């Protein structure tokens, strides 16, 4: 993924933020090129970024993960169309969005690890689901019996990440007035994602642009600007 330096953010920080909102990722493999959409979790590891996931064995992507041993996981954040009519300064329409790409080597789980992964996935998702007022659903004896019947039909895997990239394009190349006007319009949108993008734009108005150790300037060069 090519990233304009203005929009580059710390991959692990961005991943944690996106996973807090949605664990569903796009999993891409080669030979042949295929994709699947599966929940993936960030695991505790002292040796770098480690992901865990599962996929039905009937999906051809499962065979590629098992045999090829490489995969790309793409995590999508909120996105919103930005009209050029919202700008004071000249510009063109664009999209504001965030995304994380994580590529690495895969290894397969045994049955015990898969069971633990699935149980952990349910627990994490129940904790952060909306509305939280419902409380967290917990697996009972019937659910655990159904889980045991599911295990032979599913493969669990880990991805040891070797390359991590993250991009948060949130109007860093526009003036403060343009960003304010954009946020006003997004806040008035009917959909949830535009309002989430507006909130993220506001969170990045701290002078760092979300990039560790870098302070982007509003007066970016024409070469750097990405409409």
- pLDDT tens for 111-134 read 999 999 999 999 999 988 888 778
End-to-end CA distance of the chain: 17
> What does the pLDDT read at residue 221?
29
> What does the pLDDT read at residue 208?
42
DSSP per position, 175-227: -HHHHHHHHHHHHT-SSHHHHHHHHHHHHTTTTTTT-TT----SS--TTT---
Distance of alpha carbon 219 from alpha carbon 6, whole angstroms: 11
Which residue, chain included where needed, has tokens 């760092």? 208
- pLDDT tens for 58-101 read 999 999 999 989 999 999 999 999 999 999 988 999 999 999 99
Q: Is the dihedral of CA 61, 62, 68, 70 positive or negative?
A: positive
Tokens of 141: 């004896």
| 176 pLDDT higher than 80 | yes
| 226 pLDDT higher than 70 | no
Q: What's the residue count for the chain?
A: 227
The band of 206, judged by pLDDT with boundaries at 50, 70 and 90, is low
Other C-beta atoms closer than 10 Å to the C-beta of 166 total 26
Rounded mean pLDDT, 199-225: 51
- pLDDT tens for 9-54 read 999 999 999 998 899 999 999 989 999 999 999 998 888 999 999 9
The band of 213, judged by pLDDT with boundaries at 50, 70 and 90, is very low
Tokens of 119: 């149980």
Other C-beta atoms closer than 10 Å to the C-beta of 79 total 15
> What does the pLDDT read at residue 211?
37
Distance from the Cα of residue 22 to its chain's centroid: 7
What is residue 8's DSSP assignment?
Answer: B
Contacts of 66 (CB under 8 A, 6+ apart): 106, 108, 155
Distance of alpha carbon 156 from alpha carbon 23, whole angstroms: 15
Nearest to 53 by CA among 155, 170, 161, 132: 155
> What does the pLDDT read at residue 108?
97
The band of 156, judged by pLDDT with boundaries at 50, 70 and 90, is very high
> What does the pLDDT read at residue 218?
28
- Exposure of 60 by Cβ count < 10 A (0-12 exposed, 13-18 middle, 19+ buried)? exposed
Distance of alpha carbon 167 from alpha carbon 17, whole angstroms: 12
Q: What is the pTM of this model?
A: 0.87
């Amino acid at each position: 993924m090519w990233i304009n330096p203005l929009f580059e953010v710390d991959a692990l920080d961005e991943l944690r933020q996106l996973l807090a909102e949605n664990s569903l990722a796009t999993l891409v493999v080669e030979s042949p090129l295929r994709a699947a959409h599966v929940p993936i979790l960030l695991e505790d590891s002292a040796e770098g970024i480690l992901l865990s996931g599962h996929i039905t064995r009937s999906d051809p992507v499962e065979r590629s993960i098992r045999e090829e041993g490489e995969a790309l996981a793409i995590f999508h954040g909120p996105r919103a169309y930005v009209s050029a009519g919202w700008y004071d300064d000249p510009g063109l329409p664009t999209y504001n969005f965030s995304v994380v790409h994580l590529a690495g080597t895969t290894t397969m789980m045994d049955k015990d690890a898969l069971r633990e992964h699935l149980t952990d996935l349910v627990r994490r998702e129940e904790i952060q689901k909306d509305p939280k007022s419902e409380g967290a659903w917990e697996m009972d004896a019937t659910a655990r019996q159904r889980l045991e019947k599911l295990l032979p039909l599913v493969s669990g895997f880990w991805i040891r990440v070797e390359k991590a990239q993250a991009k948060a394009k949130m109007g860093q190349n526009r003036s403060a007035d343009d960003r304010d006007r954009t946020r006003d319009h997004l806040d008035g949108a009917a959909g949830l994602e535009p309002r989430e993008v507006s909130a993220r734009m506001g969170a990045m108005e701290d002078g760092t642009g979300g990039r560790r150790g870098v302070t982007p300037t509003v007066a970016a060069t024409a070469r750097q600007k990405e409409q």
